Structure 1
Amino acid sequence: TFHSFSLILSVGDIGYYDDAGQFYIVERMKDSFKCMGRQVLPTDIEAVLLSHADVAEAAVAGVPHDQYNEVAKAFVVLKPASQNKAIRATENDLQDFVAGI
């Protein structure tokens, strides 16, 4: 159910807050962003993030950057730690994982 309150983020996506204060991104205003002169598809980066064993959900958007025009900003929900794995992925782990693909 959509609430009457919605907004457009500076990254160009549409989202809303629910009654519990949780924020949801529901639609992209554009399908790509430009970084270092190249078109980048957020869905490509999301697919890589989602292939990581610790990632449950991922969303990526282009955010303004002084030097590169825009850069990717990832929003990630990690899976709960399993009994066999006490340590989950960190931000640096995920950056290295995406860079290695």
Structure 2
Amino acid sequence: MSYDYLFKYIIIGDTGVGKSCLLLQFTDKRFLREHDLTIGVEFGARMVTIDGRPIKLQIWDTAGQESFRSITRSYYRGAAGALLVYDITR
């Protein structure tokens, strides 16, 4: 499917707060109770229509572990926005 615009968004936050679950829910409309840790980055995409124009949203899920912080910063480049995810119970 073709699109008029492509926007890249990143999901950032500590490990275990639900970033990968949000990505899976937004892109595939499904939920997994158990999810493997993200290593580096994984991404998904979803097509939306705004004002009759097809737009592709690329959502990048970054690893929350401290050991991957220097690697994941390079994925921020070119992002139109970021979603900060955190757990208020921690």
Q: Shorter-normalised TM-score: what interval?
A: 0.3 to 0.5
**Structure with the bigger percentage of strand:** 1
**Structure with the bigger percentage of helix:** 2
| Higher RCO structure (Cα 8 Å, ≥6 apart) | 2
- TM-score, length-normalised on structure 2? 0.34
Determine which structure has more spread, i.e. the larger CA radius of gyration.
1
